[in-house]
Amino acid sequence: MKKYLFWLRKAEEGFSMLELLIYVGIVGVIVSFAVPKYNNAVAMANTAKIQADLQAIDAAITMYQLQNGSNPDDIANDLSEYITHSDQLKPPTGKCILKDSGIEAITATEYTIADSGDEAELQGHTLDKFGKGDAKAS
């Protein structure tokens, strides 16, 4: 048994430097295609979450206006009756997609109510500004 294992070790050879360079090059090409696709998928997922959150907040604002006859001042306090866990509602971190300007970093830590009082916004952008669109539309 020991003789057989010893024979296997002797027959093993390592990789040559050229083989290693080829393998690293192939992995580098694959990664160069995969990373941008991954980043775009994350931005699309963040955008979808933002759109869903803003749509829910907009619906809650409308219900608040119908019941109280005025605009809400604060999402966490005024809309807690209409949104489950409204105090824990936070935008995702990373990047999102805007129709007009493409991919943008998310710097805001909470959703706010627009100055008009009838819709929610994130970083000054309302629901209709998020998503894929033609950045050079005329």
Q: Which 3-state string (H, E, C) describes 29-46?
A: HHHHHHHHHHHHHHHHHH
The pLDDT of residue 68 is above 80: yes
Whose tokens are 């002797």? That residue is: 10
pLDDT tens track for 100-109: 888 999 999 9
pLDDT tens track for 6-64: 555 555 567 788 989 999 999 999 999 999 999 999 999 999 999 999 999 999 999 99
pLDDT tens track for 2-22: 555 555 555 556 778 898 999
Contact between 109 and 115 under an 8 Å Cβ cutoff? The reply is no
Looking at residue 41, what is its pLDDT? 94
> How far from chain centre, in Å, is Cα 70?
33
Looking at residue 10, what is its pLDDT? 55
Write the CA distances from 69 to 62, 63, 77, integer angstroms: 10, 10, 17
Name residues whose C-beta falls within 8 Å of residue 46's C-beta, 6 or more positions apart in sequence.
92, 94, 95, 96, 106
> How far from chain centre, in Å, is Cα 13?
46
How is the chain split into domains, by residue range?
18-129
Name residues whose C-beta falls within 8 Å of residue 100's C-beta, 6 or more positions apart in sequence.
129, 133, 135
